[in-house]
Amino acid sequence: MGSLPCGTLLGVVQMSQRITFAELLAMLNEQVGDLREHRSGRNVQYSLATAVLSAFSVFYMQSASFLAHQKLIQSQKGNNNVRTLFGVEEIPTDPQLRNLLDPVAPESLAGVFGEVLDLCAERGYLEAFRTLDKQLLCALDGTRYFWSNKVHCASCSVRQDSRSQVGYAHYAVIPVIAAPDKSQVLALAPSFVEPQDGVDKQDCELRAASRWLQRYGPEYAPWRMTLLGDDLYCHQPFCQEVLTHGFGFIFVCKADSHITLYEWVDAIAQGGHVPTLKERVWNGRHGEVWTYRYLNNLPLKRGADALLVNWCELTVVHEESGDQLYYNAFVTNHALSDDTVKPIAQAGRTRWKIENEGNNVLKTKGYHMEHNFGHGQNHLASTLFLLNLLAFLFHSVLELGDWKYKTLRAALGARRRFFTDLEALTRYLVFPSWEHLLDFMFDGLELPRPP
């Protein structure tokens, strides 16, 4: 995100109250305080809160050696940044941390995601994400965050790799709030793909998404959300479940997997009755022709019980060569017209933000989502993944709602430079709080502050 003039920043602060790291961390602390102690006996050197916050600090600082550096600085200075920034009194060793976290189910920490969303709404930052008659767009996508041919646990899915060798994997459905014109996405609580008690079939992405609806639907539906997803989600039982829980949907709809619907499209097209809109768009280098077609009330599948949906497609071609640059088609519960087809197609395309601003950032921009931080025998891999996702959410929210954080990120340019500076500073200095750390960086860069 580009930098803003100081006066503009001040205007944003006056309109929407600042969100601070201390507030976000307090939410995590409150959630950790509700964890049930799984250990017995008196020899309990480290609390569960210590383990959770220690692991979270590694992901938040994007430094695998953060705890080791803080142990060293503790021996030299008698204090450390894990204590001052994250409230951890004693730093456990890596084996101790993994043993403490393995029995902790990730769902026991997932409530923080909803609380952060509430805070964003309360401070006015969620409104910028609303589109389509003030709806929030929530993109769903499954991603793999662990794979091994040897290491496995009771929560692993069994898969075959490209060489037909049996492997063990962890997958999760990650929902994110996105908007066409926003560079941030806001992660919501994930749903894990893992064996379910009393179910013989191997779990899958669609079942995990269904469980997400059942668990979080009552919490998130009042926010007025439309779900986005690829063709996998364009499945009648799931679409009906989405509507039952009070959500809208815009899902990719491919011809080879929805034969009945496209038979209707083709038949109506032969009669010349498919509404069509065309517009010329200049992309900065050359002209493009964008063509929209749409129809309402088409059956999603064959049979009298078929769900009626609304269908649209967008085709983009090079104005001069006629080469096709983009094509996709969607089905939705939102009514389509000449006025609504463009914003609905744009919303459908926003699904790609879960790949570009979501999964790609988590995999390649310092969070190392696919790295094996520890697997364990129960929940360790999933709980560490959730804490990593929560760190991603905290940084996204701070870039959205903390003018100090936002200004520093803009001044330093590359994302990696910001975290490299954090690692270097906290390796040699102890800061009384995250706020002091931001102020130190502000003064060092001689950045202007609002009055």
120 inside domain: no
Using alpha carbons only, what angle is made at residue 299 by residues 296 and 304, rounded to the nearest 5 degrees? 135
Specify the number of domains making up the chain: 2
Among 323, 341, 363, which residue terminates a domain? 363
Residue 156 lies in a domain: yes
Q: Residue 451: inside a domain, yes or no?
A: no
Q: Which residues of the chain have pLDDT under 70?
A: 1-16, 38-44, 161-162, 197-200, 354-372, 451
Tell me what pLDDT residue 450 has. Answer: 74
pLDDT attached to residue 442: 93
Could you give the 3-state DSSP secondary structure of residue 308?
Answer: strand
1 within some domain: no
pLDDT of 4 reads 35
**Residue 214 falls inside a structural domain:** yes
State how far the Cα of 38 lies from the Cα of 336, in Å rounded to an integer: 53
Strand (E) or helix (H) holding 68:
helix 66-77
Q: Are residues 237 and 313 both part of a single domain?
A: yes
186: CATH: 3.90.350.10
pLDDT at 322: 92
Query: What distance in Å separates the CA atoms of residue 121 and residue 433, rounded to the nearest whole number?
Result: 26
pLDDT at residue 126 in the model:
94
pLDDT at 200: 61
Asked whether residue 323 falls in the same domain as residue 354, the answer is: yes
pLDDT (0 to 100) of residue 363? 63
Give the N- to C-terminal CA distance of the chain in Å, as an integer: 23
Domain that holds residue 330: 125-363
